[in-house]
Structure 1
């Protein structure tokens, strides 16, 4: 048997890419999944058509044809993969079940399974996979459709790129070109090393004041006993690396007419959909958790740094799939939570108050970026394994995260293929938020809110109740004009 050549090292991982690579090595964050429902005007998607379209996407996107060298170190580098065999990355599966509801349950279980898998041979195999899922013959659908699951290592791209991947795949499927047989298109050759998108810190001009840098580094890396005592919000169970990595998730589909009503209400109340979802999660958890367990909350919002690329960023590399990401935190102090628990409270007024405040906070944070941002201080973390080890056994910093990857464009009326649903999950954040609220949608179509968590970190009854509340909150404004029952 011939020896495989050593992979060629490319650029070092950026600090935000190391953030994810180090978590994968420790098994505490494994992948992101974006699943889209593809509807065909003619025949269903088969291996030949998928390989043909996917091959063109892989050829366009260098982050889909790299591995990771030294993932267990803080000096990890991407590796050039001279070939990609799509048969190693693509699978088709049929979920046998009796009805549509059971199919949706099995589909979510499939998505959760992918979150629990580690990427093997990341030095020589690109860490992503595509699985085409469809129901068995017993499930009748008005229109034929298949769910295309895209799972990927967070170090090679972020959630927004996961959505863009599906846009690129859809465009490739809709380009009328002769489709060769699957075997002819499965093995892709890339003899020349690719030009990768730049590291985040090389193209985003972070500007951190001395006071912000000292405060942030001290709070993160300074001796715990010497730091100022902070209010600890409700955060589920403490970080525990010993818990099994078992992903659980619930999806809430909001139909187009209800989405349109929510968006109109957001405009009328000077809010945004992301801010409103934070406020609705707050209202639900404040009602379902007792005051002695959850006096206050905190939440996290990821922010794409694509709008903040500096003039030195290569214009040709801007559209590429990549990881450009930071986040901001919101506090919900005790008096805000207590107001929602008052018997005489006006839930709608309090929800909109919170949503307006959060939209203003997000707008203020986005206006100040990339100044005084924690992502610009990651260079001071010299040992990522030690960084994560310090979090084991400690309280979590927040209560939930709302991550919105935005909407896919509406399909063209004459398109052969269209996407009708987007289901996005971050998976368990073992050392982060106990509850992930993940949002994806199709323009003028369905919006899907998926709640994900690690088993045993929060009670399943609590998340089931949150899912029920979000479904009701999304439905009622369209039916009655109010969130409250």
Structure 2
């Protein structure tokens, strides 16, 4: 590898998991979009023009979050590095996208009850355009990473709204998409980014380091430590022996009969359905709405039902997706997974002032999986298709939701002991590890990734009162999507803004599962969620 004189530190073994995937083109971006609202009168009162205000605020976020101000060198090698960027051209970090809508009546906060179905149709068109935008930004690779950070924001808006009357009952709307290379942040990091940006917009500060659209960074930023040593992993002997047995002995070229006898190979009846085999040649990601609930009261009723059944919303979503798939992929079992944030397990002695859970952008995740047996899938299908059991009284659904929830809580309670992420440093060549997956079956049927709730104080529902016209910038919707060619067949992506409901997407690699199956899945889940919280 050629000498690089601006190195800050190696990216670390876990981040290599993501740099290798990007280098190979199998995971290009994660996207978290938030809808920012501001009363027209407040925007008129701000001194800098809109584009300058966004640029100033973004510069403040970069200065606050060390990882956002670095590049990545030697990504295609076994030793990728975070490198110091002495200057960042902010014009390359912000993309403005004008979306002309058929009407702007929805900008008025009182318009929802006035224009009925027409407004609903227009909102649906806007959301569809936004999801098509997500699809577009999942495809490109981050070029020139050694001289430019691997992320950007896309600001989407209707420019005509800027001509609306400067009244306090008129709200302007801007969708800001944070699109990023996974080595820079995880999904929760997307929330942290938006919280920082929202605060910076309201603060209105222009940093002195920003001159003529160039952000000057003369000294290297302080980066949070890599996952290892930041997370104090430990391993039991049983975990080590089990891993050696599975990964080393299981990797030997043994006869099929012996492999099944030793538990290395499942029988055909036990192999979960995971869509088409891994195809690394197609970067296209498709995104659809799985379900949304804008009525916070309705969502709270569903959460209350989850609590009464000792289940979480994440556990319920696992059960609902399995219920729908069982109707259409018959006589097959499924395997699902859920990412778990490791940020709360950080060692404060190692973190020092460079990392604070919930405040510092980082990529700190592990995952756990759950097997949906043939028996469970058959019961789910029978209850809904043959017995027409209402969801609220479907014992199979709630038993599954409770079991998944219990499994998640058990895994979380065990961390950071005996976790597969603790073995990241033992992988000698991440690129080769992923190449060996090409053409093979996927590990999971679907993943449920739940970012949790964006803080109420950021969404215009905090201590300042509930009337959005009494404040400036606030957030009232979040949309999350991801694309991973070697990951599960389906990604269920959950984002919630406190007091403003929940929005869930389903994303998948084009050609891995049929569009009709996904649309039927979305119809099922939206219907069932609505049924649960009338």
TM over 0.5: yes
* Structure 2 match to 1:328: 368
Alignment of 1:30-179 (within 5 A): 30-41=28-39, 42-43=42-43, 46-98=50-102, 99-135=122-158, 137=160, 143-177=171-205
* Structure 2 match to 1:355: 401
Alignment of 1:140-289 (within 5 A): 143-177=171-205, 184=211, 186-220=213-247, 222-223=250-251, 225-226=253-254, 227=259, 228-230=264-266, 231-242=270-281, 244-251=282-289, 252-255=291-294, 256-289=296-329
- Deviation, 1:224, is 5.8
5+ residue gaps, structure 1: 480-485
Contact 2:56–2:204 under 8 Å retained in 1 = no
- Deviation, 1:84, is 1.3
d(CA) in 2 for partners of 1:357, 1:306:
25
Contact 1:260–1:444 under 8 Å retained in 2 = no
- Deviation, 1:275, is 0.9
Contact 1:240–1:392 under 8 Å retained in 2 = yes
- Deviation, 1:71, is 0.4
d(CA) in 2 for partners of 1:162, 1:419:
13
Q: What is the aligned residue count?
A: 469
The 3 A distance-change label for structure 1 pair 54 and 136 is: closer
Aligned to 2:95, the other structure's residue is in SS state: strand
d(CA) in 2 for partners of 1:439, 1:224:
39
d(CA) in 2 for partners of 1:124, 1:467:
41
Contact 1:49–1:182 under 8 Å retained in 2 = no
d(CA) in 1 for partners of 2:448, 2:432:
27
5+ residue gaps, structure 2: 103-121
d(CA) in 2 for partners of 1:51, 1:357:
47
Q: 1:457 aligns with which of 512, 517, 521?
A: 512
TM-score, scaled to structure 1:
0.92
- Deviation, 1:7, is 5.5
Contact 1:7–1:123 under 8 Å retained in 2 = no
* Structure 1 match to 2:106: none
TM-score, scaled to structure 2:
0.84
* Structure 1 match to 2:480: 424
The 3 A distance-change label for structure 1 pair 217 and 142 is: farther
Deviations 1:91-143 (A, max 9, x none): 11112344332221111111111111100001111001011101465999973
Contact 1:213–1:377 under 8 Å retained in 2 = no
Deviations 1:379-420 (A, max 9, x none): 121011110111111111110001111111122434301101
Structure with max Cα Rg: 2
The 3 A distance-change label for structure 1 pair 185 and 417 is: farther
Alignment of 1:321-400 (within 5 A): 321-342=361-382, 343-344=386-387, 346=389, 347=391, 348-400=394-446
Deviations 1:149-190 (A, max 9, x none): 10011001111101110011111112255x699984621111
Alignment of 1:461-480 (within 5 A): 461-479=516-534
Deviations 1:262-319 (A, max 9, x none): 111111111111111111111111112222xxx2001010000012112432231223
The 3 A distance-change label for structure 1 pair 112 and 386 is: same
Query: RMSD in angstroms over aligned alpha carbons?
Result: 2.3
The 3 A distance-change label for structure 1 pair 239 and 214 is: farther
Deviations 1:200-254 (A, max 9, x none): 0112111122332243355345526435113321100011223x21110012321
Deviations 1:320-346 (A, max 9, x none): 211111000011111111111222374
Alignment of 1:396-415 (within 5 A): 396-410=442-456, 411=460, 412=462, 413=465, 414-415=470-471
d(CA) in 1 for partners of 2:518, 2:144:
35
Aligned to 1:328, the other structure's residue is in SS state: strand
d(CA) in 2 for partners of 1:10, 1:136:
41
